[in-house]
Amino acid sequence: MNKIIEQLTQRRSIRQFTGAEVKHDHLVTILQAGQQAPSSINGQQISLVITHNRERIARIAEIAGGQLQVATADMFITLVIDFNRTSMATEQSDLSHIIEQSAEGILTGAVDAGIMLNALQTAANSLGYGSTAIGGIRNNPQAMIDLLQLPEKTYPVAGMTLGVPDAKNKPQIKPRIPMASFAMCERYDSDIVRQGVEEYDQTLRCWWDQQDMPEQPSYKALVSGFYSRIYFPQVAETLEKQGFRFQDTLSESD
Amino acid sequence: MNKIIEQLTQRRSIRQFTGAEVKHDHLVTILQAGQQAPSSINGQQISLVITHNRERIARIAEIAGGQLQVATADMFITLVIDFNRTSMATEQSDLSHIIEQSAEGILTGAVDAGIMLNALQTAANSLGYGSTAIGGIRNNPQAMIDLLQLPEKTYPVAGMTLGVPDAKNKPQIKPRIPMASFAMCERYDSDIVRQGVEEYDQTLRCWWDQQDMPEQPSYKALVSGFYSRIYFPQVAETLEKQGFRFQDTLSESD
Structural domain of residue B219, as residue ranges? 173-228
Q: Is there a single domain that holds both residue B10 and residue B24?
A: yes
Identify the pLDDT of residue A253: 43
Closest partner residue to A248 (CB to CB) among B101, B188, B236 is B236
Q: Which of residues 60-79 of B touch A (CB under 8 A)?
A: none
Give B204's pLDDT tier (boundaries 50, 70, 90): very high
Domain boundary among B151, B167, B183: B167
Contacts with A46 (C-beta within 8 Å, 6 or more apart), sequence order: A39, A79, A80, A81, A82, A109, A112, A113, A116
- For B233, other C-beta atoms within 10 Å of its C-beta total 17
Contact in structure between B151 and A190 (CB atoms under 8 Å):
yes
Q: Write a three-state SS string for A213-245.
A: CCCCCCHHHHHHHHHCCCCCCCHHHHHHHCCCC
> Which H or E element spans position A105?
helix A103-126
Q: Is there a single domain that holds both residue A92 and residue A186?
A: no
Question: A70, A147, A38, A24: which is closest to B176 by C-alpha?
Answer: A38
In B, which residues are within 8 Å of A118 by CB distance? Answer: 37, 114-119, 122
In B, which residues are within 8 Å of A102 by CB distance? Answer: 230, 233, 235-236
Number of domains in chain B: 2
In this structure, which amino acid lies at residue B222? L
Q: Is there a single domain that holds both residue A13 and residue A120?
A: yes
- For B66, other C-beta atoms within 10 Å of its C-beta total 11
Give B247's pLDDT tier (boundaries 50, 70, 90): confident
Span B16-35, pLDDT tens digits? 999 999 999 999 999 999 99
Q: How far does the CA of residue B91 sit from the closest CA of chain A (Å)?
A: 8
Going along chain B, which residue ranges are E strands?
46-51, 75-82, 133-134, 154-162, 183-185
Domain boundary among B116, B134, B167: B167
What strands, in cross-sheet order, belong to the sheet with B154-162?
Answer: A183-185, B46-51, B75-82, B154-162, B133-134
Q: How far is CA B94 from CA A102, A120, A194, A217, B91, in A?
A: 35, 40, 18, 16, 8
Q: Is there a single domain that holds both residue B179 and residue B137?
A: no
Q: Is there a single domain that holds both residue B147 and residue B200?
A: no
Angstrom distance (rounded) from CA A195 to CA A199: 6
Span B156-167, pLDDT tens digits? 999 999 999 999
Question: B98, B120, B107: which is closest to B47 by C-alpha?
Answer: B120
A140 part of contact set with chain B, CB < 8 Å:
no
Contact A4 B3 (CB under 8 A): yes
Is residue A177 classed as helix, strand or coil in its secondary structure? coil
A144, part of any domain? yes
Q: Is the pLDDT of residue B108 over 80?
A: yes
Contact A227 B176 (CB under 8 A): no
> Residue A17 gets which letter from DSSP?
B
Identify the pLDDT of residue B249: 72
Contacts with A75 (C-beta within 8 Å, 6 or more apart), sequence order: A22, A27, A50, A51, A52, A57, A161, A162, A163
Displacement of CA A233 from its chain's centroid (Å)? 17
Q: How far is CA A240 from CA A101, A228, A247, B92, in A?
A: 9, 24, 11, 36
**CATH (domain of B137):** 3.40.109.10
Q: Is there a single domain that holds both residue A24 and residue A148?
A: yes
B144 part of contact set with chain A, CB < 8 Å:
no
Angstrom distance (rounded) from CA B120 to CA B132: 11
For A14, the closest chain B residue by CA position comes to B38
For B90, the closest chain A residue by CA position comes to A224
Q: Is there a single domain that holds both residue B145 and residue B182?
A: no
B111, part of any domain? yes
B250, part of any domain? no
A9, part of any domain? yes
Q: Is there a single domain that holds both residue B54 and residue B161?
A: yes
- For A229, other C-beta atoms within 10 Å of its C-beta total 14
A237, part of any domain? no
In A, which residues are within 8 Å of B37 by CB distance? Answer: 8, 11, 118
Q: What are the helix and strand counts (H, E) for chain A?
A: 11, 5
Q: Is there a single domain that holds both residue A167 and residue A179?
A: no
Tell me the pLDDT of chain A (254 aa) as tens digits.
Answer: 899 999 999 999 999 999 999 999 999 999 999 999 999 999 999 999 999 999 999 999 999 999 999 999 999 999 999 999 999 999 999 999 999 999 999 999 999 999 999 999 999 999 999 999 999 999 999 999 999 999 999 999 999 999 999 999 999 999 999 999 999 999 999 999 999 999 999 999 999 999 999 999 999 999 999 999 999 999 999 999 999 999 887 654 44
B142 part of contact set with chain A, CB < 8 Å:
no
Q: How far does the CA of residue B154 sit from the closest CA of chain A (Å)?
A: 10
What does the pLDDT average to over B89-94? 94
Contacts with B54 (C-beta within 8 Å, 6 or more apart), sequence order: none
- For A160, other C-beta atoms within 10 Å of its C-beta total 25
For B201, the closest chain A residue by CA position comes to A89
Q: Is there a single domain that holds both residue A216 and residue A158?
A: no
A86, part of any domain? yes
Q: Which of residues 175-204 of B touch A (CB under 8 A)?
A: 176-177, 179, 181-188, 190, 193-194, 196-197, 200-201, 204
Identify the pLDDT of residue B250: 66
Contact in structure between B39 and B45 (CB atoms under 8 Å):
yes
Angstrom distance (rounded) from CA A134 to CA A131: 9
Angstrom distance (rounded) from CA B150 to CA B84: 9
B57, part of any domain? yes
Q: Is the pLDDT of residue B155 over 70?
A: yes
A151 part of contact set with chain B, CB < 8 Å:
yes
Q: How far does the CA of residue A32 sit from the closest CA of chain B (Å)?
A: 6
B17, part of any domain? yes
Give B212's pLDDT tier (boundaries 50, 70, 90): very high
Angstrom distance (rounded) from CA A125 to CA A148: 26
What does the pLDDT average to over B130-144? 98
Contact A247 B232 (CB under 8 A): no
Domain boundary among A172, A198, A213: A172
Contact in structure between B231 and A104 (CB atoms under 8 Å):
yes
For A45, the closest chain B residue by CA position comes to B182
Rg of chain A over all Cα atoms, to the nearest angstrom: 20
Backbone angles phi, psi at A212, to 5 degrees: 60, 40
Q: Is there a single domain that holds both residue B38 and residue B92?
A: yes
Q: Is there a single domain that holds both residue A28 and residue A153?
A: yes
Contact in structure between A188 and B150 (CB atoms under 8 Å):
yes
Identify the pLDDT of residue A218: 96
B8 part of contact set with chain A, CB < 8 Å:
yes
Q: How far does the CA of residue B125 sit from the closest CA of chain A (Å)?
A: 9
Q: How far does the CA of residue B153 sit from the closest CA of chain A (Å)?
A: 12
Backbone angles phi, psi at A163, to 5 degrees: -175, 180
